[in-house]
Amino acid sequence: MKTITILLIALSTLISCNSTGSKSEAINQKTDQTIAPKYEVALHFINEYLDYSNDRKSEIETIEWVNNRTDVTIGFKIELNKIITEAQKQDPELGLGFDPILDAQDSPNEFEIDKTDSEYLIVKGVKWDDFRLAMKLKHEGDVWLVDGSGIINIPENKKIKR
């Protein structure tokens, strides 16, 4: 009976070691395939945002629009909500006074990728080369999501000086 128990423990250990190795190899292969940021996610988001922002009526609608997106992180949604809510408390009439996603009052009609740096990228206006916007991507699960744009989750040293 003791011999059977010892054999079962040894066999179980051997199987778990082999399966752990296989999982580890699969994870490494998957990570290698998805490590490069998908910059087109950010470009798609910001160009759709431009289309939306031309018709919006309030900053509160912006929160709702972003909250319905599946291509942005929860952290992005929380930070946007915090920025807009705080601005509304400070000045109910004016609010923030500029668009926090674009870090501007005016913007081009379309963006294209200008530069990339790891998970950060800079987009520039099509037919408005002087207008640049910093954005950030984050890898969550199997997808890349927008985690920063304008003043949202962009560190000072990565923000575009206006």
Mind listing the pLDDT tens digit for each residue in 26-36?
444 444 444 78
Work out the percent of the chain whose per-residue pLDDT is above 70: 77
pTM for this prediction: 0.76
Q: Which has more pLDDT, 44 or 22?
A: 44
Instruction: Give 84's contacts (C-beta < 8 A, 6+ positions apart).
Output: 59, 60, 62, 63, 95, 96, 100
Which tokens belong to 126?
């099509």
CATH number of 36-158: 3.10.450.50
pLDDT in tens, 48-67: 999 998 876 677 789 999 99
Q: Fill in the DSSP letter of residue 105.
A: S
As a whole number of angstroms, the longest Cα–Cα distance in the chain is 81
Note the pLDDT of residue 95.
84
Q: Spell out the residues 6+ positions from residue 146 whose beta carbon is closer than 8 angstroms to its own.
A: 41, 42, 45, 46, 71, 72, 73, 76, 135, 136, 137, 138
Q: Given a cut of 90, is residue 139 above it in pLDDT?
A: yes
User: Going edge to edge, which strands form the sheet with 111-117?
Assistant: 111-117, 120-125, 128-140, 143-149
Q: What are the tens digits of pLDDT across the range 76-131? A: 999 999 999 999 999 988 888 899 999 998 899 999 999 999 999 999 999 998 99
